[in-house]
Chain A
Amino acid sequence: MFISSQNPPPSFKDFTLVLPAVAVGNVGQLAVDLIVSTLNMSRAGYIHTDCLIPMTGNNPYATCKKDAEELHTPAEVYTAAELKMAVLQIRAPIIQTKLKKFRQLLVSWIKASGFSRTVVLSSSHAYQRDDQQLKGTPLRYLVTPSLLKVSAVALEELGWREMERVPAFPGLTDANTDPRLYVPGGGITKGLYEDSCAEDLPLAVLLLFCSEGDNIPDAFTLVNHLNDWLHLLDTPSQKPNKWKIPTSWSLLFGSGIPPALF
């Protein structure tokens, strides 16, 4: 359930929504962090639900001591009104038995809020690619029919590669089984995409094949890829790395090491 932290509650009419799928290497979540901290977006409210594992901490995007002490919750909505952009950051894993409920909650909130389009940033296990997927770029996209109607030209110009359907039983030729969409390690990605197709929501999925480890480079790849389409930052390719890394990314690999070690 969305609970506004602003008074009056914000209107998301005709906004573009970007949200991550909690997936391999947390690439989508890291990419969303980059967007929020770079665009200096302000918090519009919370998604308060029992589908997420509770967690909390101080401001992950703190820039000075003043704004550091500000509580943040597992799922929050940020906006940049001048860009007509909203972002939903999800910071906690979804409880296994409540995946379906969470998807339904998202779809009904997206519908009720009147977003013009939704972009899901996601990732998938690199080791489960088939032969055709191994070639070329690791980036893929998926669009629902209702978004394809309005964005077909833009997507054609970008020259992106669509996520391939894979045979249900590789190596076996069975005329009765259609190739299927398979996003291993993608969390709710596939379910959310299929729900959106059924509900006629304009939604796109941008995903990256990756493995777990240091996924910061993957997050930059994905967010730059998104930027090619949405133009959140002006031509970041000329000056590499204009994205601002938030303070919460420090110590991703643990605490400092004992000085006596050397």
Chain B
Amino acid sequence: MATFFGEVLSVYSRAVEEDDEELDENEEDEEIHRELEEKREVHLHWSPEVTESLKSGNKLQCSDFILAVGDNAARFLSVYIPTSENWDAVGHASVWNERSRAVTSEESACVFHRHKNNPSVLICRATCYIAEDQLFQWTEKVFDCLQHRQLNVTVLSDSSVAEYKTADYLCSSSAPFLRSLHTAAYRDRPVCQSLEQPNIITGLPAAVLNHCEVHSIATVVYQCYSDVTGPDSVTMETFKPALTKLGKLIQLDPSPSTDVLRKFVRATNIQSNLYI
């Protein structure tokens, strides 16, 4: 889109494409569409033990589900809850879409971990791209496997400060900061300020909130607005208050050394040092 002054902006146009006339699709087209649709389906792969219990009608006993969406949130969880020692991987969700080009490593999948001592705590780090048409399905499928009674859901999510609207000018020192959104069933007090109108949340956190609002599940989303594009330690620290309540359930690493944090920030720094 070009503005009045001529600069070209990559703005999402609100114009709507016309409802496609029912084109006469031949069988081959239809089949291609059907195959694409099938390929885009979200698949959950549980461990044999969980699969068995799901088959017999027993859903995953879960009191707390912690979902981290985005690089900073996921790495923050990795630092404060190192999944290597006390956690079992119980399954993962896999999605295929236009951005998932042959990336099939463990890191790009959403792996579900369950705590060894307290198996009712489930965490998931979602760093892969889930397309708009897959978000709803992902949420439905995952929550279909969890028992809803007494379930508490906490979502940590990243966002760019450019997406945050406020009447006051945001000076650079104010970011990163945290905002919360919760469902009607959530009775606790969130640890930070609520997200003000006219701000909205989209993506996986929104899909989870929608599902939980409609099904009366206590859920809170902590959205971190950061002015750094890649993962960085300051942004990760912002999530810290969100975990205070979880400390009672599971052993958290109280103050991980800066080295650990730095380790998680590596890759993006190398790319951005263009002139060194």
Chain A positions within 8 Å of B, measured between CB atoms, are: 3, 22-26, 46, 48-50, 53-60, 62, 68-71, 73-74, 93, 95-99, 125, 183-191, 212, 247-252, 254-259
> Interface size (B, Cβ < 8 Å)?
47
Report the bound CA distance from A54 to B131 in whole Å.
11
Report the bound CA distance from A62 to B198 in whole Å.
11
Contact A24 B201 (CB under 8 A): no
Which 7 pairs of residues, A with B, have the shortest CB-CB distance? A57-B200, A54-B207, A50-B136, A54-B206, A187-B16, A251-B165, A56-B206
Contacts between the two chains (Cβ within 8 Å), count: 135
Shortest distance from the beta carbon of B24 to any chain A beta carbon, whole Å: 15
Residues on B with C-beta less than 8 A from A22 are 16
List the B residue with the shortest CB-CB distance to A97.
B133
Chain A to chain B contacts (Cβ below 8 Å), 23 pairs: A48-B210, A48-B211, A49-B136, A54-B135, A57-B195, A57-B197, A57-B200, A68-B194, A71-B182, A95-B133, A98-B133, A99-B20, A186-B16, A187-B18, A191-B19, A248-B197, A250-B167, A251-B167, A252-B198, A255-B165, A255-B166, A255-B167, A256-B169
Report the bound CA distance from A127 to B190 in whole Å.
48
Report the bound CA distance from A171 to B169 in whole Å.
54
For the A-B complex with A54-B204, A251-B198, A256-B167 known, give 7 more contacts whose Cβ atoms are closer than 8 Å: A24-B14, A54-B136, A58-B195, A68-B197, A70-B184, A73-B209, A212-B13
Contact B200 A62 (CB under 8 A): no
Contact A258 B210 (CB under 8 A): no
List the B residue with the shortest CB-CB distance to A22.
B16
Report the bound CA distance from A21 to B195 in whole Å.
27
Contact A186 B167 (CB under 8 A): no
Residues on A with C-beta less than 8 A from B19 are 99, 186-191
List the A residue with the shortest CB-CB distance to B212.
A71
Interface residues of B in 126-157 (CB under 8 A from A): 132-133, 135-137, 139-140
Contact B198 A255 (CB under 8 A): no
Contact A259 B196 (CB under 8 A): no
Contact A53 B16 (CB under 8 A): no
Contact B198 A250 (CB under 8 A): yes
A54-B203, A68-B197 given; A25·B14 CB < 8 A:
yes
Q: Is B214 an interface residue (CB 8 A)?
A: yes
Shortest distance from the beta carbon of A37 to any chain B beta carbon, whole Å: 12
Residues on B with C-beta less than 8 A from A249 are 198
Contact B16 A24 (CB under 8 A): yes
Identify which of A58, A99, A255 contacts B194 (C-beta below 8 A): A58
A48-B214, A186-B19, A256-B166 given; A71·B209 CB < 8 A:
yes
Report the bound CA distance from A98 to B19 in whole Å.
11
Report the bound CA distance from A51 to B104 in whole Å.
28
Shortest distance from the beta carbon of A172 to any chain B beta carbon, whole Å: 18
Report the bound CA distance from A48 to B199 in whole Å.
21
A50-B136, A98-B133, A256-B166 given; A55·B16 CB < 8 A:
no
Residues on B with C-beta less than 8 A from A96 are 17
Residues on A with C-beta less than 8 A from B201 are 55-57
Residues on B with C-beta less than 8 A from A46 are 213-214
Residues on B with C-beta less than 8 A from A59 are 197
Residues on B with C-beta less than 8 A from A248 are 197-198
Q: Is B15 an interface residue (CB 8 A)?
A: yes
Contact B183 A125 (CB under 8 A): no
Residues on B with C-beta less than 8 A from A183 are 18
Residues on B with C-beta less than 8 A from A68 are 194, 196-197
